[in-house]
Amino acid sequence: MKNIIVLVSGGGTNLQALIDAQESGKIRGGKITCVISSKPDAYALERAKKHGIATRVISRKEYCDVSSYSKAILDALNEEKADLVVYAGFMTILDEQVVKAYPNRMMNVHPALIPSFCGKGYYGLRVHEEALRKGVKLTGATVHFVTEVCDGGPIILQKAVEVQSGDTPEILQKRVMEQAEWKILPQAVSLFCEDKLEVRDEIVYIKN
Ligand code: GAR
């Protein structure tokens, strides 16, 4: 059984999707053993506690720079014996010391079809604001491995979602979550835990 550590910063609906998938037996070969939040008041922490999952708060505000914060997260991941680290609405940048310690063992869910609307400054609602500003007719979500390049790691799964006339960023965000993020994140986690993901030359192959 692989230890899955989930990193969060906010409401935690993606964490909830993972918990629901776990409780209905859809995550094979892994178990969420700890949720780590960068914010002490993140509602995601309540979601974890309700389901008996251990929590830790490693508050970004208490560290003066990215390097010391990354070291604190890395120590926690090692203590928790993480096999897989999932960024589920984790809004804090970690440096390469963490990424290098967990190559192809950290994944992130991003609310757009990478390489569109991604990279530095594209997070949360801002992604949907930009998609609407550009007038794209299709958007979606991506789950990818985390590398040193922000939103640039190998793509594991993607799902497209239609933009509809009258969409606000909030409405579009909700549709992308419901139709894409909450589906592909648990799927990607299960594929990893079943040893079905192989990365060659920056491309992810899914084994049968
Ligand atoms: C989600 O839409 C997630 O894809 C996005 O933040 C939201 C968190 O919601 N993440 C990013 O933008 C990362 N670049 P949640 O806390 O309810 O899961």
Question: Domain of 150?
Answer: 2-206
Catalytic site includes residue 110: yes
- What's residue 42's pLDDT? 98
Which of 6, 45, 177 gets mutated to test ligand 1 (max ligand atoms within 8 A of its CB)?
177
Determine the atom of ligand 1 nearest the C-alpha atom of 89. 8
Residue whose Cα lies nearest atom 9 of ligand 1: it is 89
Determine the atom of ligand 1 nearest the C-alpha atom of 123. 12
Which of 181, 182, 189 gets mutated to test ligand 1 (max ligand atoms within 8 A of its CB)?
181
Q: Which long-range contacts (CB under 8 A, 24 or more apart) does 64-72 make?
A: 66/93, 66/94, 66/95, 67/95, 67/97, 69/94, 70/94, 70/95, 70/97, 70/98, 71/97
pLDDT values of the chain reduced to their tens digit, one per residue, 208 residues: 999 999 999 999 999 999 999 999 999 999 999 999 999 999 999 999 999 999 999 999 999 999 999 999 999 999 999 999 999 999 998 999 999 999 999 999 999 999 999 999 999 999 999 999 999 999 999 999 999 999 999 999 999 999 999 999 999 999 999 999 999 999 999 999 999 999 999 999 999 8
Residue 20 is part of a domain; what is its CATH number? Answer: 3.40.50.170
Structure pTM?
0.97
Q: How many structural domains are present in the chain? A: 1
Determine the atom of ligand 1 nearest the C-alpha atom of 11. 16
Out of 51, 110, 128, 144, which one is annotated catalytic?
110
